[in-house]
Amino acid sequence: MPTDADEKAAASAAATQTTQRAQQRFWRSIEDLVDAAHPAPMRSSMLSIDIPLHGRREFMKLMAASLALTGASGCSRPPLEKIVPYVHGPAQSSYGKPVFFASAVARDGYGTGVLVETNMGRPTKIEGNPSHPASLGATDIFAQASVLELWDPDRSKVVRQANAISTWRSFLTALSERMRALKQRHGEGLCLLTESVTSPTLYAQLQTLLERLPKAHWHQYQALNRDAAYDGARFALGRSVETRYRLDRARIVVALDADFLDGLPGSVRYARDFVAARSLQSNSTLHRFYAVESTPSLTGAQADRRLALPARQVEDVARALAARLGLGVAVEASTSIPADWLDAAVADLVAQRGQCLVIVGERQPATVHALAHAINAMLGNVGSTVVYTAPVVASPINQLASVSTLGTAMRAGEVDSLLMIGGNPAYDAPADLDFVAALERVPFKVHLGLYDDETAARSDWHVPAAHALETWSDVRAFDGTISIQQPCIAPLYGGKSAHELLSALLGDAPDSAHDIVRAHWQAQRRADDFSAFWQQTLHQGLVADSAFSPIEVSLRRDLGAALAPPSARRGEIELIFCSDPTIGDGRYANNAWLQELPKPLTKLTWDNAALVAPALAQRLQLANEDVVELRLANRAVKAPVWITPGQPDHTVTVALGYGRSRAGSVGNAHGFNANALRTSTGFWFTGGVELVKTGQRYALASTQGHDTMAGRDIVRVLSREEAIACKDRGPGAKDTLFTLYRALPTSEYAWAMSIDLNACIGCGACTVACQAENNIPVVGKAEVRRGREMHWIRVDRYYQGAPGTPRTLFMPVPCMQCEHAPCEVVCPVEASVHDAQGINVQVYNRCVGTRFCSNNCPYKVRRFNFLQYAQDVPTLNAQRNPQVTVRMRGVMEKCNYCLQRITTARIAADKEDRRIRDGEVVTACQAVCPTGAIVFGDLNDAGSAVNQRKASPLDYALLAELNTRPRTTYLPKIIGAAREIDRSGRAGDAAPLARGCHG
Amino acid sequence: MVSEESLSATPVLAGHYSPASITDKIADIVLERPTHWGWVVGMAVCAALTIVFLVAVSYLFARGVGIWGVDQPVAWAFAITNFVWWVGIGHAGTFISAFLLLLRASWRTSINRFAEAMTIFAIAIAGLMPILHLGRPWFFYWLIPYPDIMNLWPQWRSPLIWDIFAIGTYIIVSILFWYTGLIPDLATLRDRAAQRWKQLAYGLFALGWRGEARHWQRFDTAYLLLAGLATPLVISVHSVVSLDFAIGNTPGWHSTIFPPYFVAGALFSGFAMALTICIPLRAVFGLKELITARHLDNIAKLALLCGLVVAYSYMSELFMAFYSADPYAIYMTLNRIEGPYAPVYWAVILCNVAVPQALWFAKVRASVLSLFAIALVINVGMWLERFMIIVTSLHRDFLPSAWGMFYPTVWDVATLVGSLGVFALLFLLFVRFLPAISMSEMRKLTRKKTLRRS
């Protein structure tokens, strides 16, 4: 790309001397290096394989060339500045070995500490940072997939002016001209639009800008904002605070439309705390979990008492709770909230004063948040289960108001220059703002973004943003902990960070992001210990003790009176918006891993759908994949229907993030754009939507066609009493079925896995982590519809009970590594064989693809490359794990317990002449699991964690009656007290309760 | 009104033929008779279908098996269905030529040659199918034990390896048997051919046959021995093919009744295919005196017998599913009957159980048209049966989360239809270049007939 190179040259001319020197030492591509060394014809002959050799000279020449190439291919581009590896030795001695760098990735502004695995300078995998409070070693799906985002070939690669290729230097020239005029007007007419800012450096830069240009305006908007939470806090507590929950201290939890296991900032940490508090080992400090939900979520799936209500009725629940607790709040009279649910919840809350917790989700209006603050205060939970801290978002204004103000100003022609730093408002701003039309009134529009997206196309200038893994920045986590984001690779396409753009805007010397971030932190610290601090911070992945400490707040006394009276709107269908479970607000739309990751509950891939309750579907005579027109006032969108058990009646939920037109080759033309119905008055939910059947059909790709267990013993469900009784009985002798097969040869190690179904929340992080670790290809929607998805570990979702109020069960299913593997006996070419460590390995280069193994696998965990799924795209190749083969078409593949990790550990152990220690081998799925549901280890090590799990009398093998003797076994799902369950009206499919206890 | 007695009394050789005239009649089809327009039309259609087959296979090799509808969990579908069906069709040929030879059933004489040809073409196509269905078909030879440099042998526990041997043996023995039987006829053609190249070609393959007594003595011994070798194959080959499924643990496959069930099914479809072929053959080439109503009647009776064994197997499967009390087997059975593939199940019952019952009636067996129609129905039914066994067992096995469906693509259909075209093309070439009826054996039959009359 000539412009790119020009621009780089231009940039380097202006850069510091260090940068210049570094520039000379690195090359941008193999071609650069080879070009310099050899003329073109030579190169082409070098690269072809079958060259006739005419003697020693040619041979030597070729050897020299191939050695040079080896060197060239071994080199990638580390960033120019010094970066600090996390665990292993210095980068220089790491050829062929991965190096981990501590950094952070953000989801909707909130950071999670991660360790970025780099192989020869290429970031290939994300692991959680065990010392980071939001991670504790785990991550969510978005962090896992961020590495694919980095290598996405559809990312914006060049600066564009009016959609024509331009350069950063031309942009700087245009910008400085603009700024000269703006400075004279003290910034009048200049507007900045950012997403939620949690970066201290960026915030400082913005403050500086606003100081220098006092008449400039800074607006914030992101589609998934936390307006209601901050507004609620301001209303009830008088100031913007961050509400943090201590699930480890809570005995009773009531969640009001709050998806704290998957949606709230810090959900990875919350999930860990929640599951730890619910486990049998902890004697279940968390007794009961009540959830009210307007849309089925992973959180609701864990509830002991789940109540499905339209979103607008959640306020009624909050009011009723508050009223019953004596808060003097007006209650909607004709409320239809089940009294027994309320009675039970109130009784439990009162009984566990100070140790209970009410959580409210982002979707609920400020009133509900305020009520929750009041209830928590009244129950004495503040300081124990609820902690208030300073807001994580640097300037927690109401973003909806902010973007509306901006829209108005734009339409009025008051905005002369608009800088959009991140975000995609042309796609996701509220529909009533008509942001696209408003943009046209602005003469100078700049967009900084990872993609040449809907907003970029409508901007005068688009600057490609540097990815979080290729630039410097800093970010706060849900508890305020700051991480310095350090790049693991130089910007692939010369992308710029927000810091660099702002620095350019300020007219400062064109610093690199590194210098800006470092300078900011240097200003915060004493000079003498700074380099030690910097080193330590980068090494640890977080700024020590930077978490916010709790603050004292006081609840306003007249809360009950100050609240608006409850409104009664009934009998109409409610439209609910939600963040898409896998692609969020659309920013991950071009991420194929996330597109193909089944949505945890619907198991849909590649599309969003209008989720309706079975009862509503029956009334409107809708079937799955029927296209309905969702009509709301004068807006309408066509959407396919997906019948979702557990969805409240009289509601339709639509996920944001789809219907993108300029997401990229992966994300375009999937699903429908729910933003077209989302207005600033009905931002999260609104009544009065009409579903009009169109008679059309739209094909959806779901990975699971059957929702019940068909009465089979698959996910075992035990009540807490049963489980404890069973445990107390101690380990019984497990039945060993007779077999004709000889025992297989064993070795020093016997690898095995245990999956605790009671800990699994069904988030699907294991699936994405496995995909990243094992080079698993993406197959696309059409292939998923054919049932050809390639995930080595899938999360099965089953429903029990009535379709309207089901119990949702999750079961991760990797390869069982059967000791008597049915796949092995039927393979004619010995491609499916057992190794001495007990792993059922697949020999890819021996496989001819009879697929008999898959037919004979009762768990159906084998995956076949029906077509050439692994793409040969240079950047995507760069993401691949060099320790794992990329499979060609016609080859069977499957989970092998991350054999490459076992081998790495074994080599290390052999060198030190010792056994592999317990916990030394961590599989990708185990590492990423937020709740520690997966434990992996050696059965020959008596003290290993996996042996401890398997010693439990509750441990069971899936389809044990087939005598496959799986090495992967399960611990049952344990549900609240049996009495409670009966009261909640569980129906049918009760068989598993009777089974499940050995001995 | 056709009575049972009159049908059985129909001679196996009608008309008044001397050894010489019958040789004339049969050899003329190859050497003298001008090309029949029906043959030309047939060739055109079959050649078109063969091109379809070649295109489908080429595209398959270029893209991979993903062009078919196979998926997870249904990793086998059309290709393996075609394989089992084609292998089955071969069985009737061997049964007629070898088994009935040992039983000295003289009525086999006029139909054994083309039945054997049918066997060979069917196995050739059947043998292609498992190779086509491989993910990496270019490595198919890895299934064959050969001394490779890594000392790696196939995995002997896999029924697919047994298959290689069963099918390999079958095709070798079938070709030998067919060819051995052809030698005297090839010599006849050599002697009668007018053109030099025909004399050379037939002469080459006649292996210097001069019709000496020693030749005949050795020929008869060899032929009998080969018949003895081929006869057990009727039982063994499809038994082994059935083990491809019975060894698997999939409900619907894992059943001990499979070997006899598959053999009966194979013969059933084979007899149906024999009828499908010989009815137009005798009409087009005027062989009604050689292939008489008696032959058709006998084949139909055998088909009926096999059909009854097949029906028994269906009932036994139903019974055993419930008798076993295995919830997976019970679900599989109910799913076949009332699940998404229920139409296939009921079509199978209709085609293979209900319709063949018409063959109890002499009137039906005497009517060429109705026999032809029933034969076609059985052919379809047996293909559907194999589809049912493979697909409906796989599509819902143990874990409901992994259940799925199979929908064929245009390439699945093209491969099946194309393979029919290849088969018919080979057969049409066979009837024009080789004697479709054994001249030497027919001469014996005329002699026997003359002797009996005198």
Report d(CA A311, CA A293) in Å as an integer. 7
Q: Across the interface, do A796 and B71 touch by the CB < 8 Å criterion?
A: no
Contact of A890 with chain B, judged by CB distance below 8 Å, is answered with yes
Q: Domain A574-702 belongs to what architecture?
A: Beta Barrel (2.40)
Residues of A in contact with B66 (CB under 8 A): 783, 788, 866-867, 889
Can you tell me the mean pLDDT for A304-332?
87
Least confident range from A220-234, A568-582, A674-688, B64-78: namely A568-582
Residues of B in contact with A846 (CB under 8 A): 142, 152
pLDDT of residue A46: 41
* DSSP state letter for B95: I
pLDDT tens digits for A597-624?
999 999 999 999 999 999 999 999 999 9
**At residue B221, does pLDDT exceed 80?**
yes
Q: Across the interface, do A962 and B143 touch by the CB < 8 Å criterion?
A: no
Residue A604, both tokens: 């849909």
Say whether domain A717-736+746-994 belongs to CATH 3.20.20.150: no
**At residue A992, does pLDDT exceed 80?**
no
Residue A67's pLDDT band, with cuts at 50, 70 and 90, is low
pLDDT tens digits for A157-171?
999 998 899 999 999
Instruction: Look at strands A626-632 and A690-697 and give their pairing.
Output: antiparallel
pLDDT tens digits for A680-725?
888 999 988 999 999 999 999 999 988 888 888 899 998 888 888 8
* DSSP state letter for B47: H
Report d(CA A859, CA A962) in Å as an integer. 11
Residues of B in contact with A740 (CB under 8 A): none
* DSSP state letter for A922: -
Residues of B in contact with A826 (CB under 8 A): 157-160, 247-248
Pair A463, A494: CB distance under 8 Å: no
Residue A764's pLDDT band, with cuts at 50, 70 and 90, is very high
pLDDT of residue A73: 47
More confident residue, A992 or A342: A342
Pair A684, A362: CB distance under 8 Å: yes
Partner residues linked to A810 by β-bridges: A797
| Sequence ranges of the domains in chain A | 2-74, 227-389, 574-702, 717-736+746-994
Can you tell me the mean pLDDT for A427-447?
91
Q: Across the interface, do B401 and A813 touch by the CB < 8 Å criterion?
A: yes
**At residue A282, does pLDDT exceed 60?**
yes
Q: Across the interface, do A851 and B71 touch by the CB < 8 Å criterion?
A: no
Residue A994's pLDDT band, with cuts at 50, 70 and 90, is very low
Percent with pLDDT over 70 in chain B: 98
The whole-angstrom distance between A692's CA and the closest CA on chain B is 29
Residue holding tokens 């000496």?
A: B212
**At residue A6, does pLDDT exceed 90?**
no
Report d(CA B393, CA B74) in Å as an integer. 9
Pair A275, A932: CB distance under 8 Å: yes
Report d(CA A991, CA B82) in Å as an integer. 41
Closest in B154, B160, B399 to A859, CB measured: B399
Report d(CA B111, CA B81) in Å as an integer. 27
Please tell me which of A61-70, A277-286, A513-522 the model is most confident about, judged by mean pLDDT. A513-522
Residue A63, both tokens: 């050897």
pLDDT of residue A281: 73
Mean confidence (pLDDT) of chain A: 85
pLDDT of residue B70: 94
C-alpha gyration radius of chain B: 23
pLDDT tens digits for A491-530?
989 899 999 999 888 877 777 888 899 888 888 887 678 8
pLDDT of residue B308: 94
Residue A614, both tokens: 């079975």
**At residue A948, does pLDDT exceed 80?**
yes
Residue A463's pLDDT band, with cuts at 50, 70 and 90, is very high
pLDDT of residue A734: 62
Q: Is B157 helix (H, G, I), strand (E, B) or coil?
A: coil
Provide the residue type at A674 as one letter.
A
Longest CA–CA span in chain B (Å) reads: 76
Q: Among candidates A685, A762, A718, which has minimal Cα distance to A956?
A: A718
Neighbouring CB atoms inside 10 A of B5's CB total 8
Q: Across the interface, do A794 and B401 touch by the CB < 8 Å criterion?
A: yes
- State the count of interchain CB pairs (< 8 A) between A and B: 170
pLDDT tens digits for A403-432?
999 999 999 988 999 999 989 999 999 999
pLDDT of residue A44: 41
pLDDT of residue A9: 45
**At residue A33, does pLDDT exceed 50?**
no
Chain B residue with the nearest C-alpha to that of A848: B136
Report d(CA A126, CA A124) in Å as an integer. 7
Residue B30's pLDDT band, with cuts at 50, 70 and 90, is confident
Pair B68, B79: CB distance under 8 Å: yes
Complete DSSP assignment for A377-441: HHTT-BTTTEEEES-SSSS---HHHHHHHHHHHHHTT--SEEEEES--HHHHS-GGG-HHHHHTT
Residues of B in contact with A864 (CB under 8 A): 72, 75, 135
Least confident range from A7-11, A203-207, A239-243, B185-189: namely A7-11
List, in order of start, the domains of chain B with CATH numbers. Answer: 4-453 (1.20.1630.10)
Q: Among candidates A19, A142, A246, which has minimal Cα distance to A595?
A: A142
Closest in B66, B137, B399 to A866, CB measured: B66
Contact of A737 with chain B, judged by CB distance below 8 Å, is answered with no
Burial of residue A247, with CB atoms counted within 10 A of its CB: 0-12 exposed, 13-18 middle, 19 or more buried: buried
Neighbouring CB atoms inside 10 A of A543's CB total 22
Q: From start to end of A314-378, where are the E strands?
A: 356-360
Pair B56, B79: CB distance under 8 Å: no
Any idea how long chain B is? 454
pLDDT of residue A45: 40
**At residue A902, does pLDDT exceed 80?**
yes
Residues of A in contact with B327 (CB under 8 A): 711-712
Least confident range from A896-900, B129-133, B289-293: namely B289-293
Q: Which positions ≥6 away from B68 have C-beta within 8 Å? A: B60, B77, B78, B79, B408, B409, B411, B412, B415
Closest in A705, A714, A862 to B404, CB measured: A705
Residue A68's pLDDT band, with cuts at 50, 70 and 90, is low
Here the ipTM equals: 0.93
Whether residue B232 is preceded by a cis peptide bond, meaning omega within 30 degrees of 0, is: no
Can you tell me the mean pLDDT for A925-935?
94
Can you tell me the mean pLDDT for A666-671?
90
Report d(CA B428, CA B117) in Å as an integer. 11
Backbone torsion region of residue A326, taken as left when φ is above 0, otherwise alpha when ψ lies between -120 and 50, otherwise beta: left
pLDDT of residue A36: 45
Residues of A in contact with B65 (CB under 8 A): 849, 866, 890
**At residue A822, does pLDDT exceed 70?**
yes
Least confident range from A220-229, A730-739, A937-946, B438-447: namely A730-739
Instruction: Look at strands A482-485 and A473-476 and give their pairing.
Output: antiparallel
Alpha helix positions (H), A507-654:
513-524, 530-540, 559-562, 592-596, 614-619
Complete DSSP assignment for B286-342: T-TTTS-HHHHHHHHHHHHHHHHHHHHHHHHHHHHHHHHT-HHHHHHHHHHHHSTTH
The whole-angstrom distance between B247's CA and the closest CA on chain A is 8
Burial of residue A568, with CB atoms counted within 10 A of its CB: 0-12 exposed, 13-18 middle, 19 or more buried: exposed
Can you tell me the mean pLDDT for A180-197?
90
Report d(CA A486, CA A518) in Å as an integer. 11
Closest in A783, A797, A851 to B75, CB measured: A851
pLDDT of residue A565: 78
**At residue A973, does pLDDT exceed 50?**
yes
- Looking at chain A from residue 666 to 705, which residues have their Cβ under 8 Å from any Cβ of chain B? 704-705
**At residue A272, does pLDDT exceed 70?**
yes
pLDDT tens digits for B341-393?
999 999 999 999 999 999 999 888 888 999 999 999 999 999 999 999 999 99
* DSSP state letter for A544: T
Q: Among candidates A886, A918, A879, A915, which has minimal Cα distance to A900?
A: A886
Can you tell me the mean pLDDT for A315-337?
83
pLDDT of residue A49: 44
Q: Is A841 helix (H, G, I), strand (E, B) or coil?
A: strand
Can you tell me the mean pLDDT for B302-324?
92
pLDDT of residue B421: 95
pLDDT of residue A558: 82
Say whether domain A227-389 belongs to CATH 3.90.1150.10: no
Residue A285, both tokens: 């400090």
Neighbouring CB atoms inside 10 A of A525's CB total 16
Residue A94's pLDDT band, with cuts at 50, 70 and 90, is low
pLDDT tens digits for A115-154?
999 888 889 999 999 999 999 999 999 999 999 999 999 9
Q: How far is CA B19 from CA A274, B107, B436, B445, B448, in A?
A: 95, 17, 16, 8, 10
Task: Pick the residue of B61, B70, B72, B240 with the most A CBs within 10 A to test the interface with A by mutation.
Answer: B72
Provide the residue type at A510 as one letter.
P
Contact of A863 with chain B, judged by CB distance below 8 Å, is answered with yes
Percent with pLDDT over 70 in chain A: 87
Q: Say what angle helices B159-192 and B78-94 make with each other, to 10 degrees.
A: 50
Contact of A82 with chain B, judged by CB distance below 8 Å, is answered with no
Q: Which positions ≥6 away from A657 have C-beta within 8 Å? A: A579, A580, A583, A584, A585, A586, A587, A588, A589, A608, A671
Report d(CA A796, CA B402) in Å as an integer. 8
